[in-house]
Structure 1
């Protein structure tokens, strides 16, 4: 299909902005990037009109409630967006005959396993955010067979607010920071994830199902911060601290490093190491700063 029509829900968020950057490289230009008003995944009437007026070939759902700590108190809206919203998108995608690409999270896991997490491993979320994202996956699988669910982790980029940009800002203001060292996962450059989504769309194969995608490698938040300052040219003393020293309302998985064998084999993709991708991101951030005069 040379020129598929693609809907991107959450099209102005971090991953949506990355897709706007990457999609032209794949000659994917018949794309509607829908914001939370135009593409309100909780408004069934609006969704019905949207899908009826233009039957998309692919739908990418980046829309999600991702405020992990706030979700513990805002359980209803978190459930509405991550579970009900995902179900709505799946239902109308199925009715339109569209293939759905949906973004999920490593937070569906409890984090108490020391091994790489595979797609078939038991998902036992320990916070509201992770639970609602898992339930969203289950809703999708019950409503359509034409889906790719990609679980990812620790997303960052030159767009929106994220850990990398926060650390660069704080590192420019302070000489010393405390960062948690006993939560381990994999930082993932959202631009890399955007490339993978485009490769799936451009693939001639249709191995629908559940996949894990993050960058390669393993890091704690402490490791991540140290690398950000090193690659960003900032001299900051980083003190490793336990999560108990920085209590949060929502529990985080202690270990959520995912096995990416399935997606690599299905689509023949090579995944860069997180440090390699982080260097690319910091270069992009510096270019943004220079162009804006910051």
Structure 2
């Protein structure tokens, strides 16, 4: 084997080694350490499955998972329903020379800190916030509504962020869609509605699912938004994990809860991947 051939074979490994090392150091090893910690007792040490059994035996822990799934499902559905028309308008109605500017304006929420956005929504939804002042000033309600520190506030903060994320993934998919598909559907007698339902929507489904899955992953694992906007009135899984660490110092139980949350995300990924495979076939 010549030196040039050896060099060509070694080049891909040389390029991928830094990424593999980073993944091993900052994901694989911490994950293994967390998995080992989840199988140890909090004070006594030694192997145990009690950390996992506590999740199923304690109703409050199980309810935290249910709350997280409910909030995540609501956020994902609302974000998809809002993002698709927005992405379609950007891709189809906005002139191409203005699309970059429109996209830049659309992703402005990404330019600000996540914490700042959450506190901004807290001020908007507060008792003396903009929304309540508008409602009471117009005479719609006589007293301010309890909007902050509720599930509604948490969902609002999430949707404000994830609509932009979904818009980007759906917009990219719409731009890749050839106009010839719609022309062929029109030639075959399909109207705008049938063309959208049977041609455009199925072909843009991968973009929807990618954005929806990213929304699911980021939403179900988020701690900041529920903590700030939810006001501890409803316990979600990330808050439950942080409580075990901050209040009890129970790292094994926190690790077990994190592993369970990762298992839920993995199941969601497998479900999305399998469904997309069926649709593409």
- TM-score when scaled to structure 2? 0.22
Q: Which has the higher strand share?
A: 1
**Higher-RCO chain (CA-CA 8 Å, sequence separation at least 6):** 2
Give the structure-1-normalised TM-score. 0.22
Query: Which structure has the larger Rg over C-alpha atoms?
Result: 2
